[in-house]
Amino acid sequence: MTKEQDGNPYIIIFALWLLVFAASSQVMIISPILPRISEQLGTPLEILGNLVTVYAVMVGVFAIIMGPLSDKIGRRKILLIGTGGITISLFLHGLVDSFWGLMVVRALAGMAGGVLSGAAVAYVGDYFPYEKRGWANGWIMSGIAMGQILGIPLGTLLADISGFRIPFVLFGGIMALTFILTYLKVPQPNVELSKDKITFKGSFDKYLKLLRRSEVRAVALAYVVMFLSVSVYVVYLPTWLEESFGVSGTAIASLFFVGGIANVITGPIAGKISDRIGRKKIIIISCLGLSLVMLITTYVIKDFWVAYIIFFLTMVLIAMRISPFQALSTQLIKSDNRGSLMSLLVAIGQVGYGVGGSIAGPFYVKSGYVSNTIIGTVMILIMAYIVWKHVPEPDFNSEKAHSPTAA
């Protein structure tokens, strides 16, 4: 990063970290509190996966809409719009009294999440040089891990004590702090903004042009199967553990705590290593390892304590690929289209996440959790093949020399 760039990079990383912490926590909390939602709203378990789907669909739709606007008005304004919107929607969760009411506010949260989708990663791509993006993304995405370590356990306990609505209100308060910090301390990066007029046809043509590129199509498909594999595996894992071993919400909270530790340790290290040896190697290794862990889950967890080991390994392997894959994706395109690309990828990924959420419940109820693990395994192996065969690895020295923020 050069002296021409405004702002303190460490404060910027913290602001984006806090955003990721709050945004990811309000998504992840759905899984461990599904039984509480079912009890308190009188809703069958098999349809609760639709809470995941409606959020994912709204994220996808609004990510597509906001991508070109992000390139036009700059990442900072998008961050402010998104954090403000999601703050309001999360506070509204405290007022719901029915399943359909919860569906509506999850849709509103998804709309705001769509505004934010890809914004943090695109901001890193604009502000930091390529050789430091793995490091920056690693720290920022460790906010997901801290959500597991602190946010999800605390939210799960609060849901047990005070009802499922309270965790969402808590995360809304944290997002409000994020909005204030972004407003005060996060500048607009010194990059070229898009000069294209924002129209529906223009935006559609822009996305179509991106998808004509084979490497973009490959990464987009990889995002679909990556998100599908995670949602179909994780969403009903706590429910399966509660039903199989009779454990409490406190035990599930401790499971996410352990997984969060794995995530927070692995994310920055994986990002830094990928800066040195390349992104693809780390991504492929993590996919192969995760496929094995998913496949053996129901066969090795015969006592609840084994779930801690499996979930720890799962989070290590997921964290290994997040920041390298994002850093790899940001380099596929120049800064004036980076927001559109990241929004497109997140939107397409949310299709996979939504599909996973919709099918996870029926498969779980009809065929048992083993069917969820098999689907997750197949999808993650497909991702490994796509990245290995069809996603190019940018030349490090060339990208360093041409980075818009390089000295």
Tally of CB atoms within 10 A around 8 = 12
At residue 370, the pLDDT reads 94
Q: Find where tokens 């996060």 sit.
A: 186
- Residues 323 and 279: their CA atoms lie apart, in Å, by 9
The answer on pLDDT for 2 being more than 60 is no
Average pLDDT over residues 352-377: 89
Does domain 11-187+212-392 sit in CATH 3.40.1180.10?
A: no
Contact between 24 and 147 (Cβ < 8 Å): yes
Tokens of 200: 């529906």
In the structure, what pLDDT confidence band is assigned to residue 199 with cuts at 50, 70 and 90? low
CA-closest candidate to residue 265, choices 310, 308, 316: 316
- Residues 190 and 193: their CA atoms lie apart, in Å, by 9
At residue 83, the pLDDT reads 93
The answer on pLDDT for 197 being more than 70 is no
Most confident of 47-51, 351-355, 385-389: 385-389
Q: Is the pTM of this model over 0.75?
A: no
At residue 402, the pLDDT reads 41
Amino acid at 85: G
Q: Average model confidence (pLDDT) for the chain?
A: 83
Amino acid at 341: L
The answer on pLDDT for 395 being more than 70 is no
At residue 299, the pLDDT reads 95
- Residues 245 and 224: their CA atoms lie apart, in Å, by 32
What's the burial of 39, exposed, middle or buried (CB within 10 Å: 0-12/13-18/19+)? Answer: exposed
The answer on pLDDT for 1 being more than 50 is no
At residue 195, the pLDDT reads 65
